[in-house]
Amino acid sequence: MTLLTVWSTTDPSTPEIQTRDADTIRDILAGLGARFSRWEVKPLSDHPTQDEVLSLYADEIAAVNAEQGYSLVDVLTIIREDTDEYRETAATGRQKFLNEHQHDDDEDRFFAHGSGVFYLNVDGKVHAVFCEAGDVISVPANTTHWFDMGTSPEYVSVRFFHDDDGWVGNFTGSDVSSSFATYDELANVSV
């Protein structure tokens, strides 16, 4: 289940809030201008194609596009397997998104499978949202954040964009992300 952890940016060792309550998570994120909701999870094949995911959730995606005006949707898929290619993709992918950054566009994600953690660094607090299958989260444009997919990532994520450029990150150069609990640590929290 989704887990929200909030720390002061100056005290990464002491969570101020830690909750799995969906309404609380939605309300706290709404205070940051971020939308959070859940969709019913539908069964996927073991290695789903982009077309499979987009057609399975066509109605939900169309509703988001109509409401938010998105013009481009794609699917990011990484499935755990015992290959050098997976380990290479996992390591480079994790490091890229782990660096704190912003976007000119909103970063809307639906997790159709697997999990990942978005960290929003806003107003002196870091808000870590451990997202699971069914979660829909939006990081507003120009919000400082990072993403941790963990050391053995597995997820299928639908991404929404307002233009054709796709994912463009403006990196802050800060190493703040290294101070806070990682995906692997948050995956083991019992709350």
- How many residues of this chain bind Fe ion (CB under 5 A)? 1
Distance CA 156, CA 165 (A): 20
Greatest distance between any 2 Cα atoms in the chain: 44
For residue 41, the minimal CB distance to Fe ion (Å) is: 23
Binding part of the chain for Fe ion, among 7-15, 57-65, 84-92, 106-114 by CB under 5 A, reads 106-114
Residue closest to 69 by CA, chosen among 119, 141, 6: 141
Residue closer to Fe ion (CB basis): 95 or 190: 95
For residue 2, the minimal CB distance to Fe ion (Å) is: 18
Distance CA 19, CA 131 (A): 12
For residue 63, the minimal CB distance to Fe ion (Å) is: 23
Residue closer to Fe ion (CB basis): 57 or 118: 118
Residue closer to Fe ion (CB basis): 107 or 148: 107
Distance CA 113, CA 79 (A): 10
Strand partners, 47: none
Residue 100 within binding range of Fe ion, rule CB under 5 A: no
| Residues written for the chain | 191
Of the candidate residues 105, 107, 108, 148, the single one contacting Fe ion (CB under 5 A): 107
Distance CA 116, CA 101 (A): 16
Q: How far apart are the first and last CA of the chain?
A: 10
Residue nearest to Fe ion (CB): 107
Binding part of the chain for Fe ion, among 36-44, 53-61, 99-107, 171-179 by CB under 5 A, reads 99-107
For residue 103, the minimal CB distance to Fe ion (Å) is: 6
Distance CA 87, CA 16 (A): 34
Residue closer to Fe ion (CB basis): 107 or 135: 107
Residue closer to Fe ion (CB basis): 62 or 171: 171
Q: Are 60 and 36 in contact (CB under 8 A)?
A: no
For residue 162, the minimal CB distance to Fe ion (Å) is: 14
Q: Are 129 and 64 in contact (CB under 8 A)?
A: no
For residue 149, the minimal CB distance to Fe ion (Å) is: 12
Residues that bind Fe ion (CB under 5 A): 107
